[in-house]
Structure 1
Amino acid sequence: MIWIAAGTEEGRRIAKALAEKDQEIMVSVTTEYGGSLLRRELENVRIIDRALDYQSMGKIIKEFPITKIVDATHPYADLVSKNLIALAEKNVISYIRYERPSLKELIQKEIPEHEKDHILWVKNTGDAVEALNKSRGKVLLTMGSKTLGDYLKGLDSSRIYARLLPVAKVMEKCRALGLPPGQILGMQGPFSTEFNRATLKEFNIESLVTKDSGLTGGVREKILGALETKVQIIIIERPGVVYPRVFSDMEALMKEL
């Protein structure tokens, strides 16, 4: 059995392709919402739709005949990846990482030198908050709700706008943190360059914060839309994880599987 740790568009694609080849698979995602998306596409496949820590991952490996782990989790799910790597080594299971190509590739190839001045790379949320405190104007956060509280603590809350998934759990977190409804953009992407540009203009955004989530999922269009409106772009770098085996080409990965 192949365990696909998903949570990304690519994870769903890998699972669907293997299921069509009649491979025995199990797929895990961290939310019920992610599980519902998978169930629309996959039949007769075991799907786990909750967050897993090291202990619960270990129980899964003991319970099911896992022979291979495909880690297609989000580039910033570093703790999940580290746990999977450790458990694969401990249980002598093959581990393969699918890693989305970095935004640095896009910026290097497609962005003119004079526009790169609008892009600032930072190591973490704290560095992003520090950079934003040196600037003025409204800020659009586009990295989910996990670190929203850090921005609300570190910045004038009237500056903060957050584009988030329109699910009850996320909206409730925004309410609990005190972010006004008028500063919450509840919508599901991916979004076009034109839509991003229009959003930034409509709310008079001066700075956009994102993660290096890769060239898929609408991040490319987000960057291009921000550049067209001369908005400052702050990109939080990926965490440093040493993967024992990595693929960034989907076709090559599928041949391996």
Structure 2
Amino acid sequence: MTKLLVFAGTTEGRTLLEALSRQLSRQTYENGLSVFACVATEYGKELLQDGLDGIHIHAGRLTQSEMTALMKEHCFDFVIDTTHPYARVVSESIRMACAESGCKYLRVVRAEGRTLEMERQNCLFFHSHETAANYLDENPGKVLMTIGSKELHHYTNIQDYQHRLFPRVLPMNGVLESCTALGFAGRQLILMQGPFTAEMNAAMIRQINARYLVTKDSGEAGGFNEKYEAAVETGAQLLVIGRAEAEEGLSLKDLVEFLDETCGLTVGDAFMPYSTQLLEASDETQQGDTENAVAEKQNERRTPEQQKQDTGSWFPFFTKISGKSITVVGAGKIAGRRIKTLMNFDCNVTVIAEEAHPEVIQLEEDHRLTLRRKCWETEDISSADYVLAATNDSSINHEIYLECKNRGIPVNVADDKDKSDFYFPGIIRKNGVTVGVTADGKDHGLAKRATRVIAQCLETHLE
């Protein structure tokens, strides 16, 4: 029995665990396999649980002593560190725990230089505060500054900095005096003592409507991961001063080959990096016909009945919802996911529900939507341009559907695809590109996997 412990939380970790999960589902390995994964947050656990069968997942940050205890308890053959290269404190703790427990440590590293930079979502890297300040001077938008007070003077040459920059600094008299001397005062100053959770950082970003978050590369002890998570969640651009040093270790591909050769596994058969799939598809289209031409040739060899069976039922229209009113009836887990998606677009969301998921309540407190805690009534949708019926009661959803049909309002019924005029695809947004993914509403698992594939390809190849 081969026992693996994977510290995840990155694209590499997810890709590796998916391959290991497929290995477990095939049940073809000779020596047996047990996989345990650790992620820092419950959100990370939710992401991993989606489609990963046979993987034991622990959510929550572990101290070095807790890591050591876990390794000694399970006697792992290999401990695989796929944490982000900027989480150096975490990697060092994992190394020390492996040394204390006697487990073999394997580090997965990314390519150096620009490739590493491109693979971190929403991040820009600068060698100095001066270069970061020059970038902000040329790009409009409000900025949450989390670099402390001593370096703020580098940013006072930015046009209209007194109104654009929101420094978060320690609540100390000396700090307040130095910030005031630089021209920061009133609501521009955030005087708070950390540590700050990712949720707190995200709330601040939303409160000031920040387009950027500036931070030093301070590692986990300095709250870097929490800032990064908040930036990804809110869509803010993270400006990082300083870069991590190059590490020694294995590429993900080399790690998979090592596991197959050392443990008698066949993980490589279930593993293909998503970037490789994209490049192979690109090579084919460059060498031969275009995709449309290939499809036409394939259709020529099919009977009319076969072609009709392959005809899609859902066409991917992109519709303008800027300024539109969207009413969501229900505020549970499913409604919460769709509401969270809508928060990335310029629309007016009203939620009707007696009880609401904590994330929906937080969005109301952040003034990002209107929450009416009440039973649904027909007049609640009188001014809606679109309606989402997402309660946990199918009879109520059906009533909403009938009322929308009478009023001519497009409706999405969460528990009945056939009643829906539209439905939510998997959505990826990257550098101004928006992609919607669907499997015709027939295979949600397939749609989610395709969404992840496309997201990782865009993250890797789209500058």
- The answer to whether TM tops 0.5 is yes
| Residue 42 (structure 1) aligns with | 52
Q: Which amino acid in the other structure matches residue 235 of structure 1? A: V
Report the alpha carbon displacement of residue 82 of structure 1 after superposing the two structures with TM.
0.7
| Residue 196 (structure 1) aligns with | none
1:9 aligns with 2:11: yes
| Residue 253 (structure 2) aligns with | 251
Aligned length: 193
| Residue 76 (structure 1) aligns with | 86
1:183 aligns with 2:189: no
Q: CA-to-partner distance for each residue in 1:174-233, whole Å, 9 max, x for gaps?
A: 65xxx4744246xxxxxxxxxxxxxx6xxxx7x9668699xxx9xxxxxxxx9xxxxxx9
Indicate how the Cα distance of structure 1 residues 56 and 181 shifts in structure 2: closer, same or farther if over 3 A, else same. same
Q: CA-to-partner distance for each residue in 1:42-80, whole Å, 9 max, x for gaps?
A: 122110100000111111012112111110112222221
- The SS at the match of 1:99 is coil
1:237 aligns with 2:262: no
- 8 Å CA contact 2:109, 2:252 repeated in 1: no
Matching residue within 101, 107, 114 for 1:105? 114
Indicate how the Cα distance of structure 1 residues 174 and 132 shifts in structure 2: closer, same or farther if over 3 A, else same. farther
| Residue 27 (structure 2) aligns with | none
- 8 Å CA contact 2:9, 2:39 repeated in 1: yes
| Residue 115 (structure 1) aligns with | none
- The SS at the match of 1:66 is coil
Distance in 1 (CA, whole Å) between partners of 2:116 and 2:90 is: 28
Matching residue within 18, 26, 29 for 2:20? 18
Distance in 1 (CA, whole Å) between partners of 2:99 and 2:63 is: 16
Distance in 2 (CA, whole Å) between partners of 1:2 and 1:235 is: 33
Q: Which amino acid in the other structure matches residue 66 of structure 1? A: F
| Residue 96 (structure 2) aligns with | 86
Distance in 1 (CA, whole Å) between partners of 2:78 and 2:66 is: 17
Extract unaligned runs of 5+ from structure 2: 25-32, 118-123, 130-145, 190-196, 229-236, 260-463
- 8 Å CA contact 1:121, 1:237 repeated in 2: yes
- The SS at the match of 1:28 is strand
Report the alpha carbon displacement of residue 128 of structure 1 after superposing the two structures with TM.
9.4
Indicate how the Cα distance of structure 1 residues 31 and 234 shifts in structure 2: closer, same or farther if over 3 A, else same. closer
Q: Which amino acid in the other structure matches residue 242 of structure 2? A: E
- The SS at the match of 2:127 is strand
Indicate how the Cα distance of structure 1 residues 235 and 60 shifts in structure 2: closer, same or farther if over 3 A, else same. same
Q: Which amino acid in the other structure matches residue 22 of structure 2? A: E
Distance in 1 (CA, whole Å) between partners of 2:102 and 2:206 is: 49
Distance in 2 (CA, whole Å) between partners of 1:128 and 1:121 is: 17
Matching residue within 31, 36, 42 for 1:32? 42
1:121 aligns with 2:127: yes
- 8 Å CA contact 1:128, 1:236 repeated in 2: no
- 8 Å CA contact 2:147, 2:215 repeated in 1: no
Scaled by the length of structure 2, what TM-score is found? 0.34
- The SS at the match of 1:24 is strand
Scaled by the length of structure 1, what TM-score is found? 0.58
- 8 Å CA contact 1:2, 1:26 repeated in 2: yes
Report the alpha carbon displacement of residue 11 of structure 1 after superposing the two structures with TM.
0.8
Indicate how the Cα distance of structure 1 residues 120 and 76 shifts in structure 2: closer, same or farther if over 3 A, else same. closer
1:133 aligns with 2:155: yes
Percent sequence identity over matched residues? 19
- 8 Å CA contact 1:31, 1:50 repeated in 2: yes
Report the alpha carbon displacement of residue 172 of structure 1 after superposing the two structures with TM.
4.3
- The SS at the match of 2:256 is helix
Indicate how the Cα distance of structure 1 residues 171 and 68 shifts in structure 2: closer, same or farther if over 3 A, else same. closer
- 8 Å CA contact 2:80, 2:107 repeated in 1: yes
Measured on the aligned residues, the alpha-carbon RMSD in Å equals 4.4
1:67 aligns with 2:77: yes
Indicate how the Cα distance of structure 1 residues 171 and 54 shifts in structure 2: closer, same or farther if over 3 A, else same. closer
- The SS at the match of 1:75 is coil
Distance in 2 (CA, whole Å) between partners of 1:76 and 1:128 is: 23
- The SS at the match of 1:35 is helix
Extract unaligned runs of 5+ from structure 1: 109-117, 141-147, 161-168, 186-199, 218-225, 227-232
Report the alpha carbon displacement of residue 20 of structure 1 after superposing the two structures with TM.
1.7
Q: Which amino acid in the other structure matches residue 36 of structure 2? A: M
Indicate how the Cα distance of structure 1 residues 67 and 139 shifts in structure 2: closer, same or farther if over 3 A, else same. farther
Q: Which amino acid in the other structure matches residue 120 of structure 1? A: F
Q: CA-to-partner distance for each residue in 1:107-162, whole Å, 9 max, x for gaps?
A: 99xxxxxxxxx97314994599447534423359xxxxxxx9559997748669xx
- 8 Å CA contact 2:85, 2:109 repeated in 1: yes
Indicate how the Cα distance of structure 1 residues 60 and 180 shifts in structure 2: closer, same or farther if over 3 A, else same. closer
